[in-house]
Amino acid sequence: MRLDKFLCDCTSGTRSKLKKDIKAGQVTVNGNTVLKPEQHIDEKADEIFYKGQRCVYEQFVYYMLHKPSGVVSATEDAHERTVIDLMGDERRDDLFPVGRLDKDTEGLLLITNDGVLAHELLSPAKHVEKEYECHLAESFDEKQKEQLEQGVDIGEKSLTMPAVVHTLDDKMIALTITEGKFHQVKRMLQAVGNEVVYLKRIRMGSLMLDAELPKGSYRRLTEEELDGIFRRDK
């Protein structure tokens, strides 16, 4: 692996800034100062220090992000702030959100660089559950509940797969689906004569949104959470 790529993955610095720092003598490999950003290193065996701090390479990283409204689920955007912009010191070039939430939707997003896991979680064949807290414009009744549980017509080739619905209040439900069609939750509620006014994802597979994690904040997944994702969501 190139030295500048290694540092880019291990720090929050940009590739251009890291190249300048390498050329300025601020990086050592196995005790020797290296001035060439393109030099190849062994990320598993070499000891690399940047500005006096040892850099340890992690091939894959996993973060829980509490997405706020007004941020887009993308790696970059010319006009909008993205979820990757929220990653602060943990930002690295290869991070991406697993799936997407609408700009005005809040809640759980998994941020990683593990493409294989992302495929497993997003593959339609896997039927990974996504649970949402839905605040509605109108009162929610038993007829609407039954329709959602049976599948509704949202203009696709077939009805939506049966949903799991729990009524939380007169105008609030918890809705669990196993598909990921465009604006699906909003379209499903519209199909039964209601309207979503606030939407928050609270679970994806076994991964629950941490109730103590503020909006716009992130943290690494715990070992228990990782175990749940890799063992139960495949």
The domain spans of the chain are 3-55, 62-123+211-232, 129-204
pLDDT surpassing 80 at residue 77: yes
Q: What confidence score (pLDDT) does residue 233 get?
A: 44
Q: What confidence score (pLDDT) does residue 116 get?
A: 94
Give the integer Cα–Cα distance in Å for 158 and 151: 9
Q: Where are the alpha helices (DSSP H) in the chain?
A: 3-10, 15-23, 115-122, 142-150, 184-191, 223-232
Mean pLDDT computed over 148-170: 97
Residue 94: pLDDT band (50, 70, 90) is confident
- DSSP E strands: which ranges in 53-124? 53-55, 62-67, 96-97, 106-112
Give the integer Cα–Cα distance in Å for 20 and 12: 14
Residues 6+ apart with CB under 8 A from 234: 120, 126
Among candidate residues 46, 85, 94, 102, the one labeled active-site is 102
Give the integer Cα–Cα distance in Å for 195 and 136: 6
pLDDT surpassing 80 at residue 14: no
232 vs 100, which has greater pLDDT?
100
Mean pLDDT computed over 198-206: 97
Residues in the chain: 234
- Lowest-confidence region among 77-81, 152-156, 229-233: 229-233
Give the integer Cα–Cα distance in Å for 167 and 165: 7
Q: What confidence score (pLDDT) does residue 234 get?
A: 44
Give the integer Cα–Cα distance in Å for 195 and 203: 21
- Any catalytic annotation for residue 104? no
142 three-state secondary structure: helix
* Domains 3-55 and 129-204 alike in fold: no
pLDDT-above-90 percentage for the chain: 84
Q: Which CATH number fits domain 3-55: 3.40.50.720, 3.40.50.970, 3.10.290.10, 2.60.120.10?
A: 3.10.290.10
CATH architecture of 62-123+211-232: 2-Layer Sandwich (3.30)
Mean pLDDT estimate for the chain = 93
Distances, alpha carbon 170 to alpha carbons 31, 142, 147, 185, 233, in Å: 66, 11, 17, 18, 32
pLDDT digits (tens, 9 = 90+) for 106-138: 999 999 999 999 999 999 899 999 999 999 999
Mean pLDDT computed over 52-81: 94
Mean pLDDT computed over 207-212: 97
Residue 218's nearest CA partner among 62, 63, 11 is 63
Domain 129-204 class, CATH top level: alpha beta
Give the predicted TM-score (pTM) of the model: 0.81
Residues 6+ apart with CB under 8 A from 175: 131, 132, 134, 148, 163, 164, 165, 185, 188
Q: What confidence score (pLDDT) does residue 12 get?
A: 66
Q: What confidence score (pLDDT) does residue 232 get?
A: 46
Q: What confidence score (pLDDT) does residue 103 get?
A: 96
